[in-house]
Amino acid sequence: MNELILLALFFLILVSFSLNPFIYLQSLPDHQINSTRPIPAEITGPSFAVYYNCVNSTVIQELNNFSWVIIDPTQLNSSQLDQIKAVKIAYLDLGELSNMSLGNLTAPTNVTIGYDNQWNQSIVNVSSPAWESYIESQVSVVMNMGFQGVMFDDVDVVEQYPFTAQGVISVINWTRAHYPHAIIGINRGFAVIGNVSRMINFVLFEDYGTQVVSPDTISFTNITCVENETQILKNYNLTVLALGYANAPGDMYWNTVKQLASSEGLPSFVSNWNLSVIWPQNITR
């Protein structure tokens, strides 16, 4: 009798599972139903490339595989720029003196407040009226060249020198006012996101899982911090572009960036330590 009851109960369980197996899956702990790799999320944002080396015909073909490209405007001429079909965004260094030679502009003197030993560049007082005017002139030059937008680098200077924050905000506000249709982005700059989020279109999240610690040397970053900051950025309804580094496509650094960005639903680009190569990223435009 007991055996018949047990068989009947077993039969009922099998029937109910076939009707709704997810009831049982949902009751299991996460680590029993998830794979060891992060679950991919739907990618939100454009495919993009970041490239700061010399542009030639081969590079142009590679850049045209992406929707957006962030490039050094001093590394190409107007004719080459016209051949790039992607949305073209000019790299401009807002927080440091990178010695970019654009048009007939000359960088102001007596604006340095520190030194970046890793990249051998002077840190500038972004709130200096002379520096603000210089950057605004750079914006005008690249927009007249045919770029559709700008990406301001080294905005993190405000974390070390908080008094420069107003200069960062002022330059971004000026750019939005004078070029209302421009695509404006910043590299990191988390300390001023709340002040500029309504004036910019995207944040380039550099060091997304990996970072450059010295020339040609790459290491991992704190994954938890990256994930937490990603959630904060998403709350501002900004496009977030994940930028990481590797020694070669498919190595452990590459996989870390790709898996982390995929789990957060972010488009990603991985390059070498000085962003001088364009590796296929396997992201559909």
Residues 64-76 as b/e (b if ≥16 CB within 10 A, e otherwise) read ebbbbbbbbbebb
Q: What is the pLDDT of residue 32?
A: 27
**Residue 77: per-residue pLDDT:** 94
Following DSSP, what letter does each residue of 204-217 receive, concatenated? EEESSSEEEEETTE
What is the edge-to-edge ordering of all strands in the sheet holding 268-271?
48-51, 68-71, 87-93, 149-153, 183-187, 202-206, 239-245, 268-271
Q: Is 118 within the bounds of a domain?
A: yes
Residues 84 and 198 grouped into a single domain: yes
Q: Judge if 50 and 181 occupy the same domain.
A: yes
Question: Are 173 and 234 contained in the same domain?
Answer: yes
Same domain, 90 and 51: yes
Structural domain includes residue 128 = yes
Residue 285 falls within a domain, yes or no?
Answer: no
Confidence at residue 36, expressed as pLDDT on a 0 to 100 scale: 46
65 and 30 in a common domain: no
Structure confidence at residue 233 (pLDDT):
95
Together in a domain, 17 and 109: no
pLDDT at 187: 98
User: Which three-class secondary structure state does DSSP give residue 61?
Assistant: helix
Q: Tell me the C-alpha distance between 95 and 162, whole Å.
A: 12
Let me know whether 105 and 213 are in one domain. Answer: yes
What local confidence, expressed as pLDDT, does residue 17 receive? 36
Tell me the C-alpha to C-alpha distance, in Å, between residue 182 and each of 1, 89, 176, 239, 240. 79, 9, 7, 14, 17
**CATH number for 75:** 3.20.20.70
The answer on 3 and 140 residing in a single domain is no
Which string of DSSP letters, residue by residue, matches 18-48? Answer: HH-THHHHHTS-HHHHS-SSPPP----S--E
Both 2 and 64 in one domain: the answer is no
* Spatial distance between the Cα atoms of 193 and 189, rounded to a whole number of angstroms: 7
Pairing of strands 87-93, 68-71: parallel
Q: Could you tell me which residues are beta bridge partners of residue 115?
A: 122
In a domain, 59, yes or no: yes
The confidence score (pLDDT) of residue 40 equals: 67
Verify that 6 and 112 share a domain, yes or no: no
Helix (H) or strand (E) holding 150: strand 149-153
Indicate whether 106 belongs to any domain: yes
In a domain, 278, yes or no: no
Q: What are phi and psi of 209, to 5 degrees?
A: 100, -30
Look at the chain and report how many structural domains it folds into: 2
Residue 134 maps to a domain: yes
In this prediction the pTM is 0.85
HSE of 227 in the Cβ direction (CA atoms, 13 Å)?
Answer: 10
* Domain carrying residue 22: 1-34
**In terms of domains, do 236 and 181 share one?**
yes
In a domain, 279, yes or no: no
Same-domain check for residues 59 and 15? no
10-residue block means of pLDDT along the chain (285 residues)?
45 41 30 43 91 97 97 96 98 93 91 93 97 97 97 97 98 98 97 97 98 96 97 95 97 96 97 97 60
